Structure 1
Amino acid sequence: MNMYADCLEMTRSDHQHKQAHLSAEEILELAERGRRCPRYEEYIDHITECAVCRETYKQLLRAELTVRAARKRVWTPTLRIWVPVAAAAMLVLFFGVWILRSNSSQSLALRQVNGVWYEGAMRLPDWAFAAAAQFERPPTPTTRDVQDTAPPAVRLIRPNPANAALDSLTPEFQWERATDAVRYRAWLEHADDTLKINLKVDGVRAMLPEGAQLKAGEEYRLVVEALSADELAGEGLRAVYEFRTLTPEQQERLLWARANRSQAPRACAVIFYQLGFYADVLETLNTLPNEPLVQQWRAAAQEQIRLR
């Protein structure tokens, strides 16, 4: 059964993308109608030269012959033997037709051709294939409760606070103007409190000092303090945002996912989730049909944003 399914799948995939083989419908028509098929000679000529189509045709033909034989013997004493055989043959035919004709987005999304994995027409690196395969296993929703809190005193705009990671080692920050604030202070703290970097603030924007950059693969806290006219440094309202930086390998995967999200949305959605770019997850999922798996991934990303 597995070898038969593999043959059918190879025929369907190759015909769709290379037009090198007969289609599923053409092979089925040939097996069912034989010489009555209008393009019999053309199909037979192709099967004579094509090993893949020939093997698929042989499997379908055997199943068809078994069914016909079972029909002739249905009233004989061997009924108990042939009915199960015929049922098995019909199951083979049904399974093959399902593989060849299935139009579900998930079955067409991930496929293998000559040992290479694709999502749609996009060839996937090994690590991207692993991510695409993970799409069928959405994360288990967390049960951690988060108490409702007041909105932050300073609402961050850039980088997107929904994401847990920074896409650059030299990030720039921007926030909304806070009520009554006339100036701001901003700095980055290393997660272990061993380092503090004062940022250069210009209105509602801030950046690293000239020539400075963050360390790859580390965790940081961004602190923004809004000061009114009569407040001194340390007396204003503060907002704290936590981020981590990417390693070079993670940065490469992020760039790949952002460049190919339209061609390989399932692989890219999982990659974004693994890297902590939850806003990118939601944006990518919005391009897919609202299927149960998509709904589960969307819920998982929204939950991570809520926990931030």
Structure 2
Amino acid sequence: MTKPDFKRLLTVGPAVAMTAVSMVLTLAVIVMWLGGSMPWGIALVVGVGLDGGWLATLAYERRLARQGDHSNAITGVGWGFGAVATGVLVAHALGEPSPGPWLAVAWLPLAAKALWLVHGLWERTALTPAALDRIATIQQGARDQAAIARAELRAEAGTEETRLDAVTGAGKRVAEAQAKAARRLSGAWSELDGVRQGDGTGRALTCVTERVAPASQDASQPRWQLPVWGSFEELAAIEAPALTDDAIDRIVTELRASTNPPMTYNALAAAFRKAGHSAGETRLRASWKRVTTAEAVGQ
């Protein structure tokens, strides 16, 4: 038995079983109910007629379902037979001294009809094995892609974390090296300054070389002045006068005329600055455009 057949049996089996039980109960109740007032054969015909009408309606409804069709009228008639069967069982139960057991089974006809409805819904939504396999393949592919995307994100996050750790470690080592060099340089400068300020330094150095500084009023011997390492006064930069646009145009024209073929802009800019001229990139490029445009118009 294949898997779809097994699933079909799970829905159609209970419906068939409950329908059979409901028909037997309905037939038995009609025979017992009407057997006292008419021959039992006639009562049996009445019960078989009710069950037969219900069974025929159900068979026709199942035929339409297999054809992919549906009839509201047939469905209504089927529910009507089920309601009549239920009414017969309820009426019989109410006439019995102990109605509880009969009322407990009075719902079986309507339940059987509901189970056939469930089976019809299953048939309308059932898929072939090929379709189910394709759906499973699509879902598995989607899960695989999601897993790959998560793995890529985790890998990228790990790589970025490793890179940040490396950069942070390198920066820490550089800072420690700079701090160590600063401490050593500060200690060397302190020692050099102490030696420079000492009175014995000049006497020691003048033993091996000539005196380089005259004696001061407070010192009996001339002092040997060591180089001073510290802040110094910055000289003001010499600012060249700014060139006018006409002067820049004249220089650009001369530079272009100095070569054949004329220089490109990059070569001209390098030659312009190599000649000692100073001008902003924007002004130099604007001058280039004016000169080249004028040359094109003149040709």
After TM superposition, the score normalised by the length of structure 1 is 0.20
User: Which structure exhibits the higher relative contact order, with contacts defined as CA atoms closer than 8 Å and separated by 6 or more residues?
Assistant: 1
- Greater Rg by CA: 2
Query: 1 or 2, which has the higher strand percentage?
Result: 1
Query: 1 or 2, which has the higher helix percentage?
Result: 2
